[in-house]
Structure 1
Amino acid sequence: MSRSGEFEIIERLLAPLAGEGAFSLSDDAAVLPELSHGEAWVATKDAMVAGVHFLADDPPDLIARKLVRVNLSDLAAMGASPMGYLLAFALSPDCDDDWLEAFVAGLAEDQRIFGIALYGGDTVSTPGPVTLSLTALGRVERGRELRRNGARAGDAVYVSGSVGDAALGLKCLQEELAVSAGYRKTLVDRYRLPEARVRLGPALIGSATACQDVSDGLAADLGHIARRSGAGMEIEADLVPISQAARAAIAAGSGLETLPFTGGDDYELVFTAPVDAVLPDVGVPLTRIGRVVAGDGVRFMSRGGEISLRQAGWRHF
C-alpha cells in the first residue's frame, strides 16, 4: 500500500475543501467568517476511534460522513446552524491513498449537503487504531440557544424520527443478529450514516424548553436533561417510535426488547416542550413519548409498571 506525505495530503486532498479565510490550508490558522449582529458562535468536538465508534472495515466515505454528522447533531441539539469545521486525524498504515481519497470524497459530499467548509486541522500518523476528531462550528442567535437545563414539570417529552435502529444495525454488522436483507440494509445504514437534524434543531427555538441529541441511548440522554433540569421524567414505552425494521430485528433476536431505549448512535433529537407548544414542521416525524414530572430520574413505564433497564446507555468509562 502507498500513502502520500502529510503536505501532499493537505494540498491535493484537503485544500479543495477549504472555506474562505482558510487560505487553502496554507497557514497555521484560519480567519473565521464574521457573524451577523446578535449571533454567537457555537462549537463542539467529537472524536471517533476505529473499533469503538466505527468498524475498521466500514467504507471510508461513510466513516467521514458519520464523523461530520455526529458533530452537526450536537450543533442541532443547541439550535445552531452549521458553518464549518476543523479536522484532525491520526492515520494507521492501513489507510493508503485509496482509503484517503474515499474518506475525503465523503467529506466533500457532506460539505455539499450541509453547506459547510473546512477551516483547518492536523494530520498525523499512528500505529493504530485510526483516530478521528472533528470540531464543528455553528451560529445561533445570542441567548436563544437550546440547553439541557430548561425542562419543567408539566412539559411533554418528544423525540424525532425513530430510535434503536443504529444499535441493531451494529449487531447485524457484528453477525449477532440475522434479519432479511432489506431490514439489514435499513438498520446498517442508520448505524453507518445517521441523520443530523440540522433543520429541526434551529426550528425548535421558541418551542423547546430543553434539548439533547440521542448519541449514547434514549434513556441515558434523557437522563442528562432530567439531571440538569432538576426534574424527573416518565416515558411511556409503547409510545417510543420504533421502525418496522427494528421491530423485525427485535422479534428475530433474544432479549432485545429494551435496546431501543438504551442503544446509541441514533442521533435523533429528544426535547421537552410545553404541552400546548406549536412544534415546527420540517419534514421530520416528532413523537410525544412522555412527560416531565417533579422528582428526579427517568422511568420507562408499561402497562405492567416500570421497566427495569440494566443500563441507561453507552458509557466509555
Structure 2
Amino acid sequence: MALDEFALIGRYFRTAQLERATDASATALGIGDDAALLQLAAGQQLVVSTDSLLAGVHFPERYPPAELGYRALAVAVSDLAAMTATPLAFTLALSLPTVDEPWLQAFSLGLAAAARDFAINLIGGDTTRGPLNIGVTVLGQVPAGQALTRSGARGGDLLCVGGPLGDGAAGLAVVQGESLPAGLAIAGQDYLQQRFWRPQPQLLLGQQLRGVASAGLDISDGLLADAEHIAESSGVALHINAAQLPGSEALSAWAPRQKLDWMLRGGDDYVLLFTLPAREKARIAQWRAAGHAVSVIGSVHAGSGVLLDVGKGYAPIAGERGYQHFRSAND
C-alpha cells in the first residue's frame, strides 16, 4: 500500500536523527502541529533564509539521493554562515513525482548527516506530489546588531575569501562525467565530487567575523557575480587581483584559462567572501592558524562595480559574471 503524506513524514522525516540532530532546547514545538515554535536566547535576532533546488538547474538530472539530501541542507545553511549566525532549525518542503521509498530512505539519510554536521534540527515542512523540488528554510540566531550584511564595505578595506575557488564548477564537471584532464588523479576526482555534493558551510569562520568584517556573503553564483552584490549594496568598487585567487591542487589539473574561468564565474563554492578593515589584517593569520584558509584577493575603493586585474591592470568585467536566475537563451 502506498504511503500517504503523514505516513511518509513519520517514516522518513520524523526521526531522532533529524528532529534531534543537536540540542533541541530552542525548539518549543516541532513537527506535528500547524506550525513550529522556537525560543530564542535573550539578546538574539532571528535569521531566516530559504533555498529551492530544481533538478537540471541546481543539480544534475542523475544524482545519488543521499548526496542530494546532504547538498540541499548544506547550501541553505551556508546563508546562515554568511550572516554570522548560529543554526537553530530548518523546514523542508518536498515535492515528489512519485513515492519512491528507497529514494526517500537515501535522501533522508543524507539530510540527517548534514543536520548532524551543521547542528540543526528539522522542525516542520510539507510534502506534495509534483515535479521534484526541494525547498529548505533555515533559521538561526545572531547577537542583536551583529549580523553581517552586504552593505558595510568601505574604501580601504581588504577583500577576502574564506577558501579555494572553482572547486564547485570542477566538481560538477566530474559529477556529469565530462572529459577530464589526464593529470587529475582519482583522489582529486573524489575531492571535487565531495566539494560539489557536500559543501561545508563556513559557520565557525562566519561567527568569528562578527563585529570585525564590514560586509560579506557566501559565494554561490560565482565570485564576480557575488562580488557585484557587495559592491552595489555598499556603494563601492571592488578590485580583484586574479593572481591572488586561491585554488585547490585538484583544480590545477585543468588548463589555466579554464581554471581561472571557474574561479571567477563557476559558482557553487559556498565559501565566504567578505571585506575587512585594514586595521584588522592581523586576524587573517590567526584564522589561518585555526584552519580557515582565508586569503586576501583584492581591495575596496571609491567608485562602483567590480574591476579585475588579470595582469594588465584593473578593468571592468567583460562578459558573463556568473550564474543568473531567469536568464533566457537569447540574453
TM interval, short-chain normalised: over 0.9
Q: Distance in 2 between matches of 1:24 and 1:79?
A: 24
8 A Cα contact 2:308 2:314, kept in partner: yes
Within a 5 Å distance, the mapping from 1:69-88 to structure 2 comes to 69-88=74-93
How far apart are 1:208 and its partner, in Å?
0.4
1:250-278 Cα shifts (integer Å, max 9, x gaps): 35xx7553221011100000000111203
CA distance in 1, matches of 2:29, 2:9: 12
1:41-52 alignment runs, 5 A limit: 41-52=46-57
Provide the alpha-carbon RMSD of the alignment: 1.8
CA deviations on 1:76-126 (whole Å, 9 max, x unpaired) are: 101111011011010123x51011011111121122222211110000111
Q: In structure 1, what is the equivalent of residue 271 of structure 2? A: 268
Q: Structure 1 residue 23: deviation in Å?
A: 5.4
Distance in 2 separating the partners of 1:22 and 1:125: 30
**Per-residue deviation, 1:5:** 2.3
Distance change >3 Å, CA 110–CA 255, structure 1 → 2: closer
Equivalent-residue separation in structure 2 for 1:177 and 1:311 (angstroms):
23
Matches within 5 A, 1:85-234: 85-93=90-98, 96-126=100-130, 128=131, 130-179=132-181, 180=184, 181-234=186-239
Task: Indicate the residue corresponding to 2:329 in structure 1.
Answer: none
The one-letter code matched in structure 2 to 1:263 is: G
For the pair 1:289 / 2:297, whether they are aligned, the reply is yes
**2:164 is matched by which residue type in structure 1?**
S
8 A Cα contact 1:3 1:97, kept in partner: no
Percent identity reads 38
Count how many residue pairs are aligned between Structure 1 and Structure 2: 310
Task: Give the secondary structure class of the aligned counterpart of 1:178.
Answer: coil
Task: Say which SS state the counterpart of residue 188 (structure 1) adopts.
Answer: helix
CA–CA distance in 2 between the matches of 1:267 and 1:89? 23
Aligned-partner Cα distance in 2 for 1:203–1:240:
22
Q: Which runs of 5+ in 2 are unaligned?
A: 327-331
Tell me which residue corresponds to 2:66: 61
CA distance in 1, matches of 2:143, 2:269: 27
